[in-house]
Amino acid sequence: MANRVPSGPEGVPFLGSSLQYADDPLGFMERVAREYGDVARIDVYGTEVYQVADPEAIRRVLVTNAENYRKPTLGGDEGLGGLLGDGLLTSDGEHWRRQRTVMQPSFYGTKLNEYGDIIVRDTTELADSFTDGEHTDIHAEMSQLTLRIVVESLLGSRIDGMERAIREALIEVGERFQPGPEGFVPEEVPTPRNVRYRRAVDRLDRILREIRRQHDYSGDEDDLLGTLLGEREQGNLTDESVRNEMMTLLLAGHDTTALTLTYAWYLLAKHPDVRREFHDELDAVVDGTPTVDDLADLDYLDEIVTETLRLYPPAYVVYRQANEADDLAGFHVPADTVVSTPQWVVHHDERFFDDPWEFRPERWTDEFRRELPQFAYFPFGGGPRKCIGDGFAMREAKLVLATLGKRFEFDLVSDTPLTLVPLVTLHPENPVEVTVKDR
């Protein structure tokens, strides 16, 4: 066993580094890695966290020694676990393993092709609603679109007209998980934020009940909700667990992809050369409306999405907690230590990416991909808890970009640079206003 103890910022009594962290979480994570190295110790909100920014050590946490690392219940019932309960993202142990096995088939093989048709159809409906010259918030548009897609493909319902209400409720839910001491005021304390949160969760629960009712009515067993209800029939899942999986899919299944799309449109608008090449490739490969089959020939599109996920990873950090003591990159990690593996830091590390803050899709040549250490780039995490929706999300992001990019380009309305706020996921602070232009 190694006996080196990682160093880190001193902090102040009781608060540790909480204030610096709350002030600028992303900058703080970068500074810690720069000043204290690949394994560093930080003290935020009363928890000691080991930040691990070495790809090989990250691989050990997420893959090779994954059984030693559980999902921490940060914030306890006040954290994400309080909202998603024993859903796939926040559960652990036997229940998680069983659920993962039950849900996995819905995310692979021919199922993905069927989702492709839904994705293109829903995106075409959005495209038909755009008019040349209109201004719109592309983040709001992408969130409503990805909500519609995930509900239709996995939960088997159309939510025409409800997207806005769901999105608004989800924004109020997300505010509660904003970093900062206020986030941990217990839910029963009726602060304005807590009251908004509770009401928003109630609204979402009503909508989920309605989706389930519609599904019961249609009796369709062919989608993921059908699979979950089948498990419920057989007594393997409670109603509460079905609700938790539905809430998990609603949240995890739309927000990150919407962010990827928002950032891709933003970056394309900021980089006219890349945008030109993006459109040229679409025009050369896609005849009319894109299909899943076209994706195999859209290499540059793949590079654009890959680079967007590197530069602005929607999941910017993943947490684990050690069951037993371990060694990471030569440092001793005591049992129960919370470990963070920050995509935000590693994806911008000069050791792996030249000019890491530049948007350069063309860096993703086959050779570059082959030589990159595996966990220098991990937008979907890794190991047994790797994102179950990774294939779905990549396909969705590419098909939405291709379908809209065939018909439009989007210019930014203002030159104001993007400001990012790390909530549960990495969000733009302000609406991303664009002008829709027919091509």
Does position 436 bind ligand HEM by CB under 6 A? Answer: no
Smallest distance from the beta carbon of 379 to ligand HEM, in angstroms? 5
C-beta closer to ligand HEM: residue 18 or 90: 90
Residues 147-186 that bind ligand HEM (CB under 6 A): 150
Structure-token pair, residue 39: 């394994």
Closest distance of CB 237 from ligand HEM, Å: 15
Question: Which range of residues in 23-31, 183-191, 267-275, 383-391 is near ligand HEM by CB under 6 A?
Answer: 383-391
* C-beta closer to ligand HEM: residue 123 or 257: 257
Query: Is beta strand 47-52 parallel, antiparallel or unpaired with respect to 338-341?
Result: parallel
Residue labelled with tokens 């509460």: 240
Size of the site for ligand HEM (CB under 6 A): 23
- What six digits make up the tokens of 266? 């933003």
CB of 133 to ligand HEM, least distance (A): 30
Q: Does position 314 bind ligand HEM by CB under 6 A?
A: yes
CA proximity to 253, closest of 114, 84, 66, 431:
84
For residue 48, list its beta bridge partners. 43
CB of 106: closest distance to ligand HEM in angstroms? 9
Sole binder of ligand HEM in the list 248, 262, 308, 340 (CB under 6 A)? 248
Task: Give the C-alpha separation, 249 to 247, whole Å.
Answer: 6
Q: Least distance in Å: CB of 315 to ligand HEM?
A: 4
Q: Which stretch binds ligand HEM (CB under 6 A): 116-124, 189-197, 252-260, 271-279?
A: 252-260
- Kind of pairing between the strands at 326-328 and 331-333: antiparallel
**Does 224 engage in binding with ligand HEM (CB under 6 A)?**
no
14 burial level (CB within 10 Å; 0-12, 13-18, 19+): exposed
Which residue among 26, 173, 315, 401 contacts ligand HEM (CB under 6 A)? Answer: 315
State yes or no: residue 344 binds ligand HEM (CB under 6 A). no
Told to check if 389 binds ligand HEM by CB under 6 A, we report yes
Binding mask 29-58 for ligand HEM (x = CB under 6 A): ------------------------------
Contact residues for ligand HEM (CB under 6 A)?
A: 88-89, 100, 150, 248-249, 252-253, 256-257, 260, 314-315, 318, 379-381, 385, 387-389, 392-393
